[in-house]
Homo-oligomer: A and B are copies of this chain.
């Protein structure tokens, strides 16, 4: 990777372009693995997924298998899911409950705190140098939570999760902290593999309400969404720190036909107790929250169902890169614990109808994500000298939008969601990280 090539990306990004070759370039991908996925906060799961002491779930941080366990004191710990003896994957299950995890190769066993507690014939065969306490499971260097959302970070020196989330916390409070008892994950995440680049899918959620009018036009044809191509633009696109961003979408009137995203009135007192006035104001007028936490966590809080009987649902999704042209999609459906069961059911049905592997909205997204890959693998699209003007266009709102200072929420809010402000800020942060040689050094090949 030549320095001038990165330099040139920088110039282009500042002008509102993205060289097309960076999408699928293997060298860029390696830098991303090292300097982004090795040093930023990656979502692991929600506290509601671990019910009691001994509960465990297995997740991935990029290519590292991770074992999350709730210990006796109710603390959640995360470890590399690899026996310290010879590296064997300790647990291949998705979830369960165990007091002890025993490795199938030589029988070493670990407790809920990842401590090595059993070595077959240990005392007989090992000598002095073998000190059990040194051979516990390798902990994920940093594990922190906010509003029940558990994140891990491979970088010992990373800033705290809360500092990293920054003003996104204010919006998480609305989506995750509004009701007593908080949120619960329903069942397990859906998982499937798509032909896509993780940057493009992250952008698609965090920064691209503009695609709704065409990609999801079938919903218009089906009379499920307004015909006005601007319908997804109303509201604010809010640029946050470190490549995070959120779109607070409302209607042309600035109001939502369904206050509090169609939540039943029985819940309103809770909201009014748990949220401040600015949060309530936004929450009362928003139709859809859609955004992302850099690098690869996206979320969508929207209403489904026919007008009048809209039901809100919240989904979080991780775009786990399996290569420059492949992602493993994880989708968690979440809902307020406090809601009545029948509402939960309707909300769940609304989610399934629109998103997830079989969702009608999602289907067309996957087609577009695949097409970006297909057209970004040749010489014309990959030429690093940009001889073919092979740059993508992120000019929307570049020189014709001013922040709306009256927007009640934190972050820099622009008075429309049809703008590329968040995308440009994601590119800048992405580039800052991959150009920073001090990050994630030590990573192999």
Interface residues of A in 1-59 (CB under 8 A from B): 16, 20-21, 23, 25-27, 33-34, 37-38
A74 within 8 A of B: no
- A416: chain B residues at CB < 8 Å are 125
| Chain B: minimal CB distance from A11 (Å) | 15
For A149, list chain B residues within 8 Å (CB): none
Q: Is A147 an interface residue (CB 8 A)?
A: no
Q: Which residues of B contact A247 (CB under 8 A)?
A: none
In the assembled complex, the Cα of A215 lies from the Cα of B104 at a distance in Å of: 6
The reply to whether A121 and B87 form a contact with Cβ atoms under 8 Å apart is no
> Is the pair A107, B364 in contact by a Cβ cutoff of 8 Å?
no
Q: Which chain B residue has the least Cβ–Cβ distance from A27? A: B445
Query: Interface readout for A53-89 with B: 1 if CB under 8 Å, 0 if not?
Result: 0000000111111000000000000001111111111
Query: Chain A 72-112 against B: per-residue CB contact (8 Å), 1 yes, 0 no?
Result: 00000000111111111110100000000011111100000
| Minimum CB–CB distance for A131 against chain B, Å | 9
Q: Is A174 an interface residue (CB 8 A)?
A: no
Closest B residue to A212 by CB, please name it: B106
When distances are taken between beta carbons in the complex, the residues of chain B under 8 Å from A392 are 84-87
Determine whether the beta carbon of B87 is less than 8 Å from that of A372. yes
Instruction: Tell me whether A128 and B80 are in contact (CB under 8 A).
Output: no
Neighbouring B residues of A443 by C-beta, 8 Å:
379, 382-384
**Measured CA separation A402–B411 after assembly (Å):** 68
A371, CB-defined interface residue at 8 Å:
yes
Cβ of A379 and Cβ of B138 under 8 Å apart? no
A128 touches B400 (CB 8 A): yes
User: Is A142 interfacial (CB-CB < 8 Å)?
Assistant: no
Known contacts A25-B444, A380-B64; A125/B372 CB under 8 A: no
Flag if A88 contacts B372 (CB, 8 Å). Answer: yes
Q: How far is the CA of A370 from the CA of B65 in the complex (A)?
A: 14
* A315 interface residue per 8 A CB criterion: no
CB-CB < 8 A to A213: which residues of B? Answer: 106-107, 120-121
Contact B367 A104 (CB under 8 A): yes
Whether A87 touches B381, Cβ cut-off 8 Å, given contacts A65-B375, A120-B229, is yes
User: A84 contacts B393, CB within 8 Å?
Assistant: yes
Say whether, besides A125-B210, A129-B399, A138-B389, A82 and B444 are in contact (CB < 8 Å). no
Distance in Å: Cβ of A296 to nearest Cβ of chain B: 15
Q: Which of B135, B141, B233, B375 lies in contact with A80, CB distance below 8 A? A: B375
Contacts of A354 in B (CB 8 A): none
Contacting B at CB under 8 A, from A179-224, are: 200, 210-211, 213-215, 217
Does A406 lie at the interface of the complex (its beta carbon under 8 Å from any beta carbon of B)?
no
Residues of B within 8 A of A130 (CB): 393, 395-396, 398
Q: Is A378 an interface residue (CB 8 A)?
A: yes
Knowing A138-B380, A214-B104, A385-B442, the reply to whether A395 touches B129 (Cβ < 8 A) is yes
Given contacts A364-B104, A380-B80, are A374 and B89 in contact (CB under 8 A)? yes
- Are B126 and A395 neighbours in the complex by a CB distance under 8 Å? yes
A388 contacts partner chain B, Cβ-Cβ < 8 Å: yes
The answer to whether the Cβ of A368 comes within 8 Å of any Cβ in the partner chain is yes
B contact residues around A399 at 8 Å (CB): 127-129
Interface mask (A118-151 → B, CB under 8 Å = 1, otherwise 0): 0011001111111000010010110000000000
Closest 9 CB pairs of A and B: A64-B378, A127-B400, A385-B442, A107-B214, A82-B375, A63-B378, A89-B371, A127-B399, A89-B375
9 more A-B residue pairs beyond the given contacts A121-B213, A127-B400, A130-B395, with a C-beta to C-beta distance below 8 A: A61-B380, A63-B379, A64-B378, A82-B376, A87-B372, A87-B375, A88-B371, A121-B229, A126-B395
